[in-house]
Structures are given as C-alpha cells and as structure tokens.
Amino acid sequence: MKRLSAALAAFALAVSAHAADLRIGLAADVTSMDPHFHNIGPNNLVAWHVFDALTRVDENARLVPGLAESWRAIDPTTWEFKLRKGVKFHDGSELTAEDVLFSIDRPATLDRSPGPFTTFTRPIVAKEAPDRYTVRLRTASPYAMVPYDMNSIFIVSKKAAAGATQADFDSGKAMIGTGPYRFVAFRRGDRVELARHEGHWDARPAWERVTLRILPNDPARTAALLAGDVDAIESVPTADATRLAANPSFRTESKVSWRTLFLTLDQARDSPPGVTDRSGRPLARNPFKDPRVRLAFSKAINRQAIVERMMEGYALPASNLVAPPIFGYAQALQPEPHDPEGARRLLAGAGYPDGFAIVLAAPNNRYVNDEQVAQAVAQMLARVGVAARVEALPAAAYFPKARAGEFAVAMLGWGSFSADLALRSLALTPDPDKGFGTWNWGRYSNPKVDQLVVQALATVDEGKREALAREAMTVAMREHAVIPLHHQMATWAMRKELAYRPRTDEYTFAFAFRPR
C-alpha cells in the first residue's frame, strides 16, 4: 500500500512536471533566429517569444503598448516613445534607449536579407535619445505609421548583438531579448526550445519549458496532435478542423484572420494576356476597364458557397480588403450578393451578351484551398457566360509571373494592420519611388483614393485617420479595384485541458496558452 502511494506520488510529480511544459506544432519552417534577418511569419513568431518591440498588437490586431508605455507625436514629423522603466534583458542588464536606437539601425546593416525589415526603418530620417527612457524618431514628412512600424522592429540587446553574426543568433549567443521566453536551442528544420524568463515585465506564462516543433506537412501535424506528440497545433487543415472539433479529447479555436483573398483584374492595358472572345480571338478593348464588367464579376461569385463548401465554414465572405476587426474596416460595405441574372444583364449592357474568355491564375500551395477556390470561381463565371480557364501554379512559379504582369485575372491574399496600409500596396496608382501600389497587379488608379490614403497616412490623429481610411476603402471597393472573395479564419487545435485566445494576426504564442 505504501509502495503504491509512493508510486502514485511519483506519478503525480511526473505529471505536474510535464504539465509545466508545452509543445506546439508550427505549420511553417523557421529559417533563422536573427530577428532582423527575414520578415516572415514563422521567424517573427519565434522572435516574439524571445524579444519585445516598442509596440504590440492585441488579438484584434489593434495597436497596444509594448516596451514603450506611451507614445505621441510631439510635432507632425516627430514621434516620442516613453520606455518602460526597469525592463530586464535575459542577461540581467536593463533595457535603455541605447538598445532601441541600436535595434532600429540594425536591419539596414544586414545586406543579404531576402525580405528586409528596412521597410519599417527607412521612413525614419533621424533619431535621438534625450534620456535613458525616451526615444524620438523623426520622419521626412508627416507619417502616422511609425508606431505601427515599431511593432515590427524587435529590440535586441546592444551589448549582445553588436557585431553578432547569423551564427551567433542561431547558436543563442546573441539571442538576448526582453521577451517572456529565453532561448534554449534551435535545431533547424526540427524545433526551437525555449525556457520561461522569470523577470518578464508583463505576463508570467504558465509554461516553464516550451518546444516549438516544425511540422509543415498537414496530415503529419494533425497526427502529431492526435498521437500526443504535441499539445497544440496551428493552421488546422479545414477537413481535420471539423473532425477535431467533434472529438471530445480536443478543442479547436478559430478567429477571422487578417488574410483576405481577392481577384485582381487588369484595368490598365488595352489587351491584357489571356482575355479573348469565346472563340479565342482578341477583344477590341479591355473589358475590365468598364466598371459594369467588374461589378458583373463580383455578382457572379457565390461567396457563401465558397465559404461553406470549399472552406468548410472556416472563412467569412469579404467586402473589404481588410478583415472586420482591423483598423479602417468599412462596416457600410456588404459582400456583393450572388446574382447571376444581374451579372448577365450587366455584361450584355457592357457589350458582351455572349460573354468572353479569360485565364484565371491562382497559386496552388499558398493559401488555404487556393486552387479549389479558383476552380469554383471559374465555374461560377461560366454560369454568367465568362469562360474561365484556371491556371494554377506553385507559389515559386506563380508570384514571379504575376509580378511580371503575365496574368490579367489573378488571385492574391493579403494581411495588413490597417486599411490605409492595405490600400497603399494594393490600390494606389503604382509609383515605385513612393512605394505605392507595389502589389496593385490590376493597376487600378483613382486620384481620389490616392489622395485619401496619402492624407490618412500623414494624419496623426487616430480617429481622423480611421475615418479617412474607411472612406478610401469605400471608394476603392465601390469601384471594384479588386474583387474581394473571403477572409480566411485562423485555426488552432489543442488538448482539451488547454485554452488559447485566438488572434487575428494568426500568431501562435506559447505564452497565450492557458491551462483550463
């Protein structure tokens, strides 16, 4: 009896030691530990555990204080950030303005980055630290996005990171941050191991040790959860999500993601590639220059059917270029109702009673069920007389072609912190010098939208800025700058003993998991 109770006690101990650990299956590969090397989701996810930034976003992708407890524009071109006092790095040293200035300088010193963070630091033309806990950042012209941009610049320890190489970060030598977790080990292509940083300024996470397993293969990730290899996974495949939600041993969480899918329509060239009449002869003019044709496309698409059948309910029909919780979402816009009759009438009115033919390009490994969604859209277009042939390509081949302008109708997915930012990349008249319209594949152009977005980005007052962003979004979407399809849902699945507060930015944070 005594022996049995001792065994039970030992077992209970083992369970409680185990209960302090959390193992998470990530859906994408982490390429580097250096938080300033490559701006991609999985790398940033790890960085958010080990580092902090001046500002953060909450689960609705709204800006909240991070290492800076407050910020304000002291004049139209100067932002002042007040740092939290007494924030400690993992090596025990205190965070000061020096570390912040160093971290803002560092991205520009890494010249082999395939996706540089300088996007966020380039607008800053001067900076200073009037005291240990104050940072002032100056821009050349009024620029409202500085606090948002600072959400992307991780603050590293100047002492640890000065002169550090990529290898120093990967080995952990330079991985000194202020984040809720200390770096333990990085095994490329396999896992990242972390341990709780007891002195974090904000929350005390429930888990002492965290293992982030890299499981990009969908069935393998689900199997790892089912087999108990991991406690939670992100990006649950849509088919498995329904099944896991019905399984009493597991829980799923989902929330509308900031990723919105839409179709771009070439509205600039006279004869865009792949657009012909139904027998393959070139058309006299580009049909997408006519707003009636763009509206007809939008009416032809049954968004509800795509959400229910292709996405198994894990999506929302879209009317905006940003998801509902995001800054600048225009509530007044409603998803275009499915109306094939109306679409046919509009096409006839625009001079295409017999429709025409297009090539509909889409990636086949980038977004959730991307190729299937494209096929469904093609069938819906066929019902209003537009013969659409789907050209689905792997992302590696798709994006270079799309950026080179080889598609007239193409699928694109986008995530932004705010409507004005989304419009800047997607709907402004392309202007490489100003960085406008970089991803405006359809080359939509409206001076009114340009002016509203430029004004919004220069407006420091958040209320006024949001109104401007909403107005710009409304104008662009009423003119069908692009045809919105749906907002994806981000999904998580976990053991039933766990709870996670789902996030619109899709991040999976170990410190946001709680035991139930």
Partner 1 sequence: MILYAFRRLLESVVVLFAMSLVVFLSVYAIGNPVDILVSPQADAQEIERAIRGLGLDRPLWEQYAVFLRQAAAGDLGHSFAFNVPAIGLILERMPATLELAGAAMLVAVGLGIPLGLWAGLRPESASAKAIMAGSILGFSLPTFWVGLVLVMVFSVWLGWLPASGRGPTTDLLGVPVSFLSREGLRHLLLPAATLALFKLSLLARLTRAGTREALAQDYVKFARAKGLATRRVVGVHVLKNILVPIVTVIGLELGSVIAFAIVTETIFAWPGMGKLLIDAIGVLDRPVIVAYLLVTVTLFVLINLVVDLAYSALDPRVRLAEARA
438 binds partner 1 (CB under 8 A): yes
Smallest Cα–Cα separation from 200: which of 180, 183, 177? 180
Residues 241-260: x where in contact with partner 1 by CB under 8 A, - otherwise, as a string: --------------------
Cβ-based nearer residue to partner 1, 229 or 479: 229
Taking CA atoms, 157 is separated from 92, 337, 429, 501, in Å, by: 11, 53, 40, 30
Amino acid 170 reads: D
Cβ-based nearer residue to partner 1, 38 or 200: 38
Report the alpha-carbon distance of residue 6 to residue 202 in Å, rounded.
38
For residue 497, the minimal CB distance to partner 1 (Å) is 17
Tokens (6 digits) for 82? 């007040």
| 78, 113, 242, 445: residue in contact with partner 1 (rule CB under 8 A) | 113
Cβ-based nearer residue to partner 1, 186 or 314: 186
392 binds partner 1 (CB under 8 A): no
End-to-end alpha carbon distance in the chain: 32
140 binds partner 1 (CB under 8 A): no
Residue 145 near residue 457 (C-beta atoms within 8 A): yes
Half-sphere exposure of 319 (CA within 13 A, CB side): 16
| 78, 93, 118, 134: residue in contact with partner 1 (rule CB under 8 A) | 118
- Angle, helices 291-300 vs 370-383, to 10°: value is 110
Residues 363-382: x where in contact with partner 1 by CB under 8 A, - otherwise, as a string: --x-----------------
Tokens (6 digits) for 49? 């555990």
For residue 158, the minimal CB distance to partner 1 (Å) is 21
| 278, 281, 389, 403: residue in contact with partner 1 (rule CB under 8 A) | 403
162 binds partner 1 (CB under 8 A): no
Smallest Cα–Cα separation from 54: which of 119, 117, 134, 167? 134
User: Which SS3 state, helix, strand or coil, does residue 146 take?
Assistant: helix
Binding to partner 1 (CB under 8 A) within 446-465 occurs at: none
For residue 28, the minimal CB distance to partner 1 (Å) is 10
Taking CA atoms, 49 is separated from 40, 121, 197, 209, in Å, by: 15, 22, 10, 12
Residues 207-236: x where in contact with partner 1 by CB under 8 A, - otherwise, as a string: ------xxxxx-xx--xx-xxxx-------
Residue 379 near residue 243 (C-beta atoms within 8 A): no
37 binds partner 1 (CB under 8 A): yes
Residue 461 near residue 204 (C-beta atoms within 8 A): no
Contacting range for partner 1; rule: CB under 8 A; set: 88-96, 124-132, 185-193, 338-346: 185-193
Report the alpha-carbon distance of residue 110 to residue 456 in Å, rounded.
31
| 82, 122, 136, 495: residue in contact with partner 1 (rule CB under 8 A) | 122
Q: What is the DSSP string of 252-306?
A: EEEEEEEEEEEEEE--S-SS-TT-B-TTSPBPSS-GGGSHHHHHHHHHH--HHHI
| 9, 14, 382, 397: residue in contact with partner 1 (rule CB under 8 A) | 397
Contacting range for partner 1; rule: CB under 8 A; set: 61-69, 112-120, 241-249, 452-460: 112-120
Contacting range for partner 1; rule: CB under 8 A; set: 163-171, 299-307, 348-356, 375-383: 163-171
For residue 278, the minimal CB distance to partner 1 (Å) is 31
171 binds partner 1 (CB under 8 A): no
Report the alpha-carbon distance of residue 341 to residue 338 in Å, rounded.
9
394 binds partner 1 (CB under 8 A): yes
Report the alpha-carbon distance of residue 447 to residue 465 in Å, rounded.
18
| 274, 415, 442, 484: residue in contact with partner 1 (rule CB under 8 A) | 415
Q: Which residues sit at the interface with partner 1, rule CB under 8 A?
A: 29, 31-32, 34, 37-40, 111-116, 118-119, 122, 166-167, 170, 187-191, 213-217, 219-220, 223-224, 226-229, 365, 394-397, 399-401, 403, 414-416, 421, 425, 432-436, 438-439
